[in-house]
Amino acid sequence: MAVRDIFDAVLDYEEDDVAELVQAEIDAGTDVHSILQDGLVAPLDDIGERFSAGTLFVPEMLMAAEAVQAGLDILRPLLTETGVKPIGTVVLGTVKGDLHDIGKNLVGLLLEGAGFRVIDLGTDVGAEQFIASAQENDADIIALSGLLTTSMPEMANAVATLQDANKTRNLNVKVMVGGPPVHHEFAMKIGADAYGMDAPAAVERARSFFTG
Ligand code: B1M
């Protein structure tokens, strides 16, 4: 039994095996971040490369994502364990037109684990939905995820709308962005307050809004 078996089970689209193997590694005391990174996230890069090469297609990408999600469900309690009073509230979502949610879910789990209250709006979320939820939940941060290159203009549009609402609609939130096509320069150019390269970096950025 090894983390490599989880990797292989994701590539075989074996949801139930992934869940069982993740539980077995937890029981064996394997480092949670190794289970996450080497067992669950790494095979998706492999899947992405095969998709780009035209050797597998959307249904297989979806089955792999579902297998990863089954493993994440098992890891969830370990990633979100916290007994502390919430540091602040984050409204999180994947931008309009984009249906990818695994990276966003990971960002949400680690934020929760770091003591934030997370309102997850899911995928395909428009700027006005982010604003309404931030107002309703008295949020401190809005966090936007996007995986497609075509999501970048939508992310820019959402950030502009949110920053405008900060000035004109009595909203007071910081805006954070992330996802593979996004980088620091782009984030600053579109007026975001922070960019997170990965989920741990997103937590650091979110914390920095409170610690200065
Ligand atoms: Co899609 N897909 N997909 N896909 N998919 C990619 C992203 C792609 C790179 C594959 C490829 O071509 N090699 C490619 C995008 C190309 C591009 O635009 N540059 C692609 C494509 C083209 C598409 C479709 C257009 C395919 C089609 O229909 N022809 C379609 C689009 C649908 C849509 O969104 N409208 C599509 C669909 C799908 C599925 C639905 C089948 C499925 C998603 C299922 C799901 O999410 N529930 C899927 C999958 C699984 C992938 C890959 C294989 C895996 C994505 C993933 O979950 N990675 C992906 C290829 C790849 O990544 N190698 C691919 C793991 C995840 C942990 O990483 O999300 O990057 P990631 O999150 C990271 C960081 O980016 C960061 O933290 C996380 C880790 O710590 N992060 C943040 C993310 N959000 C953040 C926010 C932050 C901070 C950090 O602050 C707010």
- DSSP 8-class letter at 39: I
Co-location of 145 and 64 in the same domain: no
**Six-digit token pair at 99?**
């249906």
Q: For position 192, what pLDDT does the model report?
A: 98
Tally the domains of the chain. Answer: 2
Give the Å distances, CA to CA, from 125 to 95, 143, 178, 191: 5, 11, 15, 19
**CATH number of the domain to which 69 belongs:** 1.10.1240.10
> What predicted TM-score, i.e. pTM, was given to this entire model?
0.94
Q: Specify whether 107 is located in the same domain as 157.
A: yes
Read off the CATH number of the domain in which 190 is found: 3.40.50.280
Question: Which of 94, 147, 184 maximizes ligand 1 atoms within 8 Å of its Cβ, making it the mutation to test the pocket?
Answer: 147
110 in the same domain as 60: no
Same structural domain for residues 101 and 157? Answer: yes
Q: Token pair for residue 164?
A: 């405008």
Cα(31) to centroid(ligand 1), Å: 25
Parent domain of 128? 89-211
Q: Mean pLDDT, to the nearest integer, of 51-78?
A: 94
Residues 18-42 have pLDDT tens digits of 999 999 999 999 999 899 999 999 9
pLDDT digits (tens, 9 = 90+) for 183-201: 999 999 999 999 999 998 9
Q: Please give all residues whose beta carbon lies within 6 A of any atom in ligand 1, as ranges.
A: 41, 44-45, 47-48, 51-52, 58, 61-62, 64-65, 97-104, 106-107, 143-145, 147-149, 176-181, 196, 198-199, 202
